[in-house]
Structure 1
Amino acid sequence: MAKVVLILALCVLLPVLISASRPMSRPFRLQGRVYCDTCRAGFETSATTYIPRAKVRVECKDKEQKLLYSIEGTTDATGTYHILVHEDHGDETCDVVLVSSPLGHCRNADPGRDRARVVLTSYNGIVSDTRFANAMGFMKDEILSGCTTLLQSLMEEED
Structure 2
Amino acid sequence: MIRKVLLFLVLCVLSELVKGRMLGNPFLVRGRVYCDTCRAGFETEASHGIPGARVRIECKERATMQLTYSIEGVTDSTGTYNIKVRGDRGDEVCDARLISSSQFECSETDPGRDRARVILTRNNGVASDTRFANALGFFRIEPMSGCTMVLQKYQETND
TM value normalised by structure 2: 0.88
Q: Which aligned pairs between 1:1-159 and structure 2 lie closer than 5 A?
A: 16-17=14-15, 19=17, 20=19, 23-62=22-61, 63-159=63-159
User: Which string of whole-angstrom CA distances, capped at 9 and with x for unpartnered residues, describes residues 99-133 of structure 1?
Assistant: 00010101110001000000000111111111000
Larger Rg: 1
CA distance in 2, matches of 1:92, 1:22: 12
CA distance in 1, matches of 2:21, 2:143: 49
What residue ranges of structure 2 are gaps of 5+ in the alignment?
1-6
User: Aligned with 1:151: secondary structure?
Assistant: helix
The 1:24–1:76 alpha-carbon spacing in structure 2 relative to 1, beyond 3 Å, is: farther
Q: CA offset at residue 64 of structure 1? A: 1.1
The 1:18–1:55 alpha-carbon spacing in structure 2 relative to 1, beyond 3 Å, is: closer
* Residues paired across the two proteins, number: 149
The 1:158–1:76 alpha-carbon spacing in structure 2 relative to 1, beyond 3 Å, is: same
CA distance in 1, matches of 2:27, 2:55: 16
Q: CA offset at residue 140 of structure 1? A: 0.2
Q: CA offset at residue 17 of structure 1? A: 1.9
Q: Which runs of 4+ in 1 moved over 4 A?
A: none
Partner of 1:4: none
User: Aligned with 2:69: secondary structure?
Assistant: strand
Query: In structure 2, what residue type is equivalent to 1:105?
Result: E
What is the identity percentage for the equivalent residue pairs of Structure 1 and Structure 2? Answer: 56
CA distance in 1, matches of 2:155, 2:110: 21
CA distance in 1, matches of 2:26, 2:75: 19
The 1:18–1:69 alpha-carbon spacing in structure 2 relative to 1, beyond 3 Å, is: closer
CA distance in 2, matches of 1:22, 1:110: 33
Whether the 8 Å contact between 2:21 and 2:88 is mirrored in structure 1 is no
CA distance in 2, matches of 1:18, 1:47: 47
CA distance in 1, matches of 2:12, 2:48: 51
